[in-house]
Amino acid sequence: MLVLTAILLACSTDQTVKTGANNESLSPCPKSPNCVSSLSEDNSHYVEPLSYKVSQEEAREKLISVIDSMKRSEIVTAKTNYIHATFKSALFGFLDDVEFSFDDERKSINVRSASRTGYYDFGVNRRRVEEIRTRFMAQ
């Protein structure tokens, strides 16, 4: 029943990709619980940005390496100040969009991870960001 509900919810939602690829800024999270962002003012969507102490270029390369090391990931856009990657779920192949925007003045990387379809994500986007953070800090 849960699987059927997930499929129906995924099929009934807008699958338009809403990313900051055009202006390198991160879009706000929708009201649905399937998104987290370091720029969110809403605690239910908020996640800490990543931080770095090296140069922006080194942090960018390190982040790309982390993303490439993760299963079912693909880097869609990799600019100097912005990275957009997708992650595909193992079971149904649903896509999640994960974006990163570099703030070299603050030595931080803002992040947004959102399901492209469906309403609930059962915490997948938050766990993914924390896994990326763990891997990023370990390198």
Q: Could you report the per-residue pLDDT of 14-44, keeping only the tens digit for each?
A: 444 556 655 568 999 999 999 999 999 999 9
Chain segment 93-103, per-residue pLDDT in tens:
999 999 999 99
Specify whether the CB–CB gap between 124 and 96 falls below 8 A. Answer: yes
2-13+30-138: CATH number: 3.30.310.80
Domain ranges of the chain: 2-13+30-138
User: How deeply is 139 buried, as exposed, middle or buried, from its count of CB atoms within 10 A (0-12, 13-18, 19+)?
Assistant: exposed
Phi, psi of 78 (to 5 degrees): -135, 95
pLDDT of residue 25: 81
pTM: 0.85
